Amino acid sequence: MEEYTKVTELFGCDVFNDSVMKARLPGKVYKELKKIMAEGGELSMEVADVVAHEMKEWAIDKGATHFTHWFQPLTGVTAEKHDAFITAPREDGKVLMSFSGKELIKGEPDASSFPSGGLRATFEARGYTTWDCTSPAFVRHDAAGGILCIPTAFCSYTGEALDQKTPLLRSMEAINTQALRLLRLFGNTTSKRVIPSVGAEQEYFLIDKEKWRQRKDLIYTGRTLFGAMPPKGQEMDDHYLGTIRQRVSAYMKEVNEECWRLGVTAKTQHNEVAPAQHELAPIFAPANIAADQNQIMMRILKKVASRRGMRCLLHEKPFAGLNGSGKHNNWSLTTDDGINLLEPGKTPHENIQFLLVLTCILRAVDLHADLLREAAADVGNDQRLGGQEAPPAVISVFLGEQLEDVLEQLISTGTATHSKHGEKLETGVKTLPDFMKDATDRNRTSPFAFTGNKFEFRMVGSNDSISTCNVVLNTIAAESFRDACDRLEAAPDFAMAVHDLIKEYATEHQRIVFNGNGYAPEWAEEAKRRGLPNLPSMVDAIPALTTDRAVKLFEDFGVFTRAELESRAEIQYEVYAKAINIEAKTMIDMATKQIIPAVIHYTTVLANSVNAVKAAGAIDVSVQMDLLKKTSRLLKSANSAMSKLAKLTEQVNSNPEGRERALFMREKIVPAMEGLREPVDELEMLVDKDMWPIPSYGDLIFDV
C-alpha cells in the first residue's frame, strides 16, 4: 500500500476512477464505457475484456491478489466472495494472473443462502451479480491483502431483485425520466439526466473493546439489554460539538484516511449529543454511489475501531435513555449540467418550476407517508424513533418560515407575491461582523425537513442501508412528477395550468406540512386529527409495502413487482422475529448466568454481614436488613420475569413464520423483555459495584 502525505494524492488512490481509466484504457474503449456510464446500455464483450484486463493490471499494481463482486443482499450487510486472479498452472508449473470481461460483468454466487422471502426455493438457487459500472471499482486493503471490489447488483435467475441496489438503480431511472419531462415543460432542452443526489450523515458510538467483550448483549445484539442510567447522562449538553478526545481524534484521522483512499469524501466530523457518540458526513454524490460509499464507510468505521482497541456501535439505540444513532439522508435532484431542482433561489415565490417541484414532493410524501415510514423500519430503529432526539414515527414535512409563507399565499389567494427574507443578524459586538440570517431557522425535530436546497430525511437508522429510503423518495417523486407532466403536457395554456396545479397540490396536501415541535406529545394528537399515519413499530410499518397503492406505484415505474414487494415484506417480518428472539435469548442468558448469581452472592454477603455485625454485639442492623429485603424482593421479581420470558420464548416457533411470528414477538416477547429489564436495572443501582458482573453505562460511555 503506497503512503501519501498529501490528501490530494491520497484521495481516490485505490479507486479505478476516471483519471485511471483515461490513462489506461484505449481512447475508443474509454469513450464507449463513459457513454454507457452516462446513458446506460450494454457493454460489448470486446470492450469488457479490455476494461477487465486494465482493471486487473491496475489492481495488481495496487497489491490486489483477488477480485470480488461486492453486493448488498437483503441481509443488511454487504456480501462478497473472493476469487484469486490466478489461472491453472501451465506446463512449467507457473500461473498467470487473469481476469476476463465476463468475470467483470457477471458473477454467479450461490443465491440459496441469502434471504429471498420465498422468491426462490433452494432448488432454484441461481443468482447473478452484474457490474454497476456507474459506481467505481476499488482495491480494499485489509488482513486479507488487496481485494479488487466490483460494485454489483444481485438478481435471481428469473430477474427478480435480491438486493438493495437493483431497485435503487431502477428508481433512479424512473425519477430521471419524469424529472426530464418536467424540465422540458419549462423550456430546458439541454440537461440530459436528472440524478438524485444523496449525502448521508452517519452517527455512531465508540466504546472500549475490553468493556465491550464483557457484555454479551453488545456482542450478540449490538445494544445493551440491561443498564441503569449513570448519575450523568447527556443532560449537560457538553458532548455535542465538544472537544474531541485524543483517542477518538486519532481514530477519526485513520478513518478519514481510509475513506479518502477509497474515494469516500469523508468531510465533516464531530461529537454528537450523547457521550461517546460521534458523526461523520461525506460530500453528497449520486444516490447509488452514496449508498455504496455509506457501506464502505460503515465498514471502515468498524475496522479502524477494532484495530485501535475500540468497538464502533452502529446500532440505532445502543443505550436506553440516551440519544440514538441515525443516518440523515440528504436528498436533492440535480441535472448533469449542474441545476439543482430543489434550489428555491432568492425569491422562491417567483420560481414556478421550484414551486411545482416542491408541491409535487409534498403530494408524494402525503400520498405515500406510510412507505417512507416503512423505508426507515429497522429492528433497532424501533427503539430510537420517538425517543431522545429522534424524529417521531409520524411523517411530516418541515418547510420553514419562508416557504410556508409562500405556500400560505398560494393557498389563500392563489398567487404568491413575495418571499420573506432573512434579516440582518446583529451580534452586538463591534468587532464581529453583522451578517444576513438565513430566511429559515432549522428544525431538528422533523423527520423530513427542507434545508435550503435539499430535503433531509432524518428517520433512517444508523445501521440501515440508505438505499431503501432513496428508492421510495425517487419513486414517489417520479409518480407526482408524472401526474403533473401528464396534466401540463395536455393543457392548452401552460402558464395558467401550472399555476392552478401548484395551488391544487399545495391545498390538497397541506396537512403533511408541520413546522412545529415534532417531539411534543401534542403533535401525535394533531397528526391523528390530520389523518396522518402513525406507525410506531416496524411490524406496523411493514404492511405499507404491499398495499394496492404501493404495488401500483412500484409496478408502474418498474421498480418492484408485486412478488418482489411481498418477498421484501416477508424478509422484514423474519428479520424482526429473529432479531427479537436473539435479544430475548441473550437476556435470559445474561440473567441466568451472570446477573442472578451475582445478586444471590450479594444477598449472601449482606446476610453474612447482618450476622457478623449482630454477633459483634451491635444492636442496629436495620440498614443491612433494609438493603437485604429490597434486594431479595427485586431478585424475586427478576427471577419470575425471567421465567416468564423463558416460557414465552419456547412458544416462538409454534407461531408460523412471517407476520404472525413477528406480531407474537412484538406483543408478547418485547413486553416480557421490558419486564425483566426493569428489576435488573433497579438491582444494578443497589448491588455493590464490585459484584455487578457487567460494565455499567458509566463505564461504557465515559471511558473511551
Which of the ranges 83-91, 447-455, 524-532, 533-541 carries the binding residues for ligand ADP, by CB under 6 A? 447-455
Q: Which residue in the set 65, 340, 594, 609 belongs to the binding site for ligand ADP (CB under 6 A)?
A: 340
Shortest Å, Cβ 135 to ligand ADP: 17
Q: Looking at beta carbons only, is 280 or 314 nearer to ligand ADP?
A: 280
Q: DSSP H helical segments within 398-547, as ranges?
A: 400-413, 467-490, 494-508, 521-530, 538-541
Q: Is 470 in the site for ligand ADP (CB under 6 A)?
A: no
Distance CA 523, CA 394 (A): 9
Shortest Å, Cβ 202 to Mg ion: 11
Give burial (CB, 10 Å; 0-12/13-18/19+) of 491. Answer: middle
Task: Tell me which residue of 312, 298, 357, 333 sits closest to 212, measured CA to CA.
Answer: 312
Count CB atoms within 10 A of the CB of residue 406: 26
Q: Which residue in the set 188, 191, 409, 453 belongs to the binding site for ligand ADP (CB under 6 A)?
A: 453
Among Mg ion, ligand ADP, none, the one that 268 touches (CB under a kind-dependent 5 to 8 A) is ligand ADP
Among ligand ADP, Mg ion, none, the one that 221 touches (CB under a kind-dependent 5 to 8 A) is none
Give Cα 339 distance to the centre of its chain. 27
Q: Which residue in the set 32, 132, 201, 405 belongs to the binding site for ligand ADP (CB under 6 A)?
A: 201
Shortest Å, Cβ 396 to Mg ion: 17
Q: Looking at beta carbons only, is 266 or 598 nearer to Mg ion?
A: 266
Shortest Å, Cβ 400 to ligand ADP: 12
Applying the rule CB under 5 A, the residues between 1 and 30 that interact with Mg ion are none
Say which residues have a Cβ less than 8 Å from residue 497's Cβ, sequence separation at least 6.
Answer: 487, 488, 491
Task: Give the end-to-end CA distance of the chain in Å, rounded to a whole number.
Answer: 30
Binding mask 304-343 for Mg ion (x = CB under 5 A): ------------------------x---------------
- Read off φ and ψ for residue 545, nearest 5 degrees: -65, -30
Q: Closest residue (Cβ) to ligand ADP?
A: 199
Distance CA 23, CA 13 (A): 14
Q: Which residue in the set 288, 353, 451, 586 belongs to the binding site for ligand ADP (CB under 6 A)?
A: 451
Q: Which residue in the set 199, 326, 344, 518 belongs to the binding site for ligand ADP (CB under 6 A)?
A: 199
Q: Looking at beta carbons only, is 269 or 655 nearer to Mg ion?
A: 269
User: Strands 424-425, 435-436: parallel, antiparallel or unpaired by DSSP?
Assistant: antiparallel
User: Strands 194-208, 277-282: parallel, antiparallel or unpaired by DSSP?
Assistant: antiparallel
Applying the rule CB under 6 A, the residues between 263 and 302 that interact with ligand ADP are 268, 281-284
Cell readout for 682 is 433497579
Helix axes 548-556, 562-590, angle to 10 degrees: 120
Shortest Å, Cβ 459 to ligand ADP: 15
- Read off φ and ψ for residue 490, nearest 5 degrees: -90, -10
Q: Is 330 in the site for ligand ADP (CB under 6 A)?
A: yes
Q: Which residue in the set 171, 197, 353, 696 belongs to the binding site for ligand ADP (CB under 6 A)?
A: 197
Give Cα 204 distance to the centre of its chain. 11
Distance CA 480, CA 483 (A): 5
Among ligand ADP, Mg ion, none, the one that 281 touches (CB under a kind-dependent 5 to 8 A) is ligand ADP
Among Mg ion, ligand ADP, none, the one that 284 touches (CB under a kind-dependent 5 to 8 A) is ligand ADP
Shortest Å, Cβ 283 to Mg ion: 13
Helix axes 165-185, 287-307, angle to 10 degrees: 140
Q: Looking at beta carbons only, is 267 or 601 nearer to Mg ion?
A: 267
The CA distances from residue 116 to 128, 137, 156, 563, in Å, are 13, 26, 9, 10
DSSP 350: G
Count of residues engaged in binding Mg ion, rule: CB under 5 A: 1
Q: Looking at beta carbons only, is 332 or 467 nearer to ligand ADP?
A: 332
Residue for grid cell 408524472: 482
Pick left, alpha or beta for residue 425 (phi over 0 → left; psi -120 to 50 → alpha; otherwise beta): beta
Which of the ranges 324-332, 601-609, 629-637, 673-681 carries the binding residues for ligand ADP, by CB under 6 A? 324-332
Distance CA 278, CA 162 (A): 32
Shortest Å, Cβ 152 to ligand ADP: 25
Per-residue burial over 270-297, b if 16 or more Cβ lie within 10 Å, else e, is ebbbbbbbbbbbbebbbbbbbbbbbbbb
Among Mg ion, ligand ADP, none, the one that 454 touches (CB under a kind-dependent 5 to 8 A) is ligand ADP
Among Mg ion, ligand ADP, none, the one that 282 touches (CB under a kind-dependent 5 to 8 A) is ligand ADP
Which of the ranges 29-37, 70-78, 101-109, 448-456 carries the binding residues for ligand ADP, by CB under 6 A? 448-456
Q: Is 454 in the site for ligand ADP (CB under 6 A)?
A: yes
Which of the ranges 227-235, 329-337, 592-600, 625-633 carries the binding residues for ligand ADP, by CB under 6 A? 329-337
Shortest Å, Cβ 340 to ligand ADP: 5
- Determine the longest span between alpha carbons in the chain, in angstroms: 103
Applying the rule CB under 5 A, the residues between 211 and 230 that interact with Mg ion are none
- Read off φ and ψ for residue 535, nearest 5 degrees: -115, 90
Q: Looking at beta carbons only, is 120 or 328 nearer to Mg ion?
A: 328
Q: Looking at beta carbons only, is 69 or 327 nearer to ligand ADP?
A: 327
Among Mg ion, ligand ADP, none, the one that 354 touches (CB under a kind-dependent 5 to 8 A) is none
Distance CA 342, CA 356 (A): 10
Q: Looking at beta carbons only, is 328 or 677 nearer to Mg ion?
A: 328
Q: Looking at beta carbons only, is 268 or 608 nearer to ligand ADP?
A: 268
Distance CA 654, CA 664 (A): 10
Which of the ranges 30-38, 198-206, 304-312, 602-610 carries the binding residues for ligand ADP, by CB under 6 A? 198-206
Task: Tell me which residue of 124, 485, 153 sits closest to 291, measured CA to CA.
Answer: 153
Q: Looking at beta carbons only, is 168 or 225 nearer to ligand ADP?
A: 168
Q: Looking at beta carbons only, is 281 or 385 nearer to ligand ADP?
A: 281
Which of the ranges 23-31, 65-73, 193-201, 604-612 carries the binding residues for ligand ADP, by CB under 6 A? 193-201
Which of the ranges 12-20, 394-402, 450-458, 614-622 carries the binding residues for ligand ADP, by CB under 6 A? 450-458
User: Is 682 within 8 Å of 634 (Cβ atoms)?
Assistant: yes
Shortest Å, Cβ 346 to ligand ADP: 17
The SS3 of residue 386 is coil
Residue for grid cell 484505449: 26
Cell readout for 271 is 461529537
Residue for grid cell 460494485: 151
Applying the rule CB under 6 A, the residues between 402 and 431 that interact with ligand ADP are none
Give Cα 247 distance to the centre of its chain. 26
User: Is 193 within 8 Å of 176 (Cβ atoms)?
Assistant: yes
Task: Tell me which residue of 658, 666, 575, 663 sits closest to 76, measured CA to CA.
Answer: 575
Q: Looking at beta carbons only, is 87 or 268 nearer to ligand ADP?
A: 268
Shortest Å, Cβ 77 to Mg ion: 25
- Read off φ and ψ for residue 214, nearest 5 degrees: -85, 0
Binding site residues, Mg ion, CB under 5 A: 328
Catalog residues that contact ligand ADP under the rule CB under 6 A. 197-199, 201, 268, 281-284, 330-332, 340, 451, 453-454
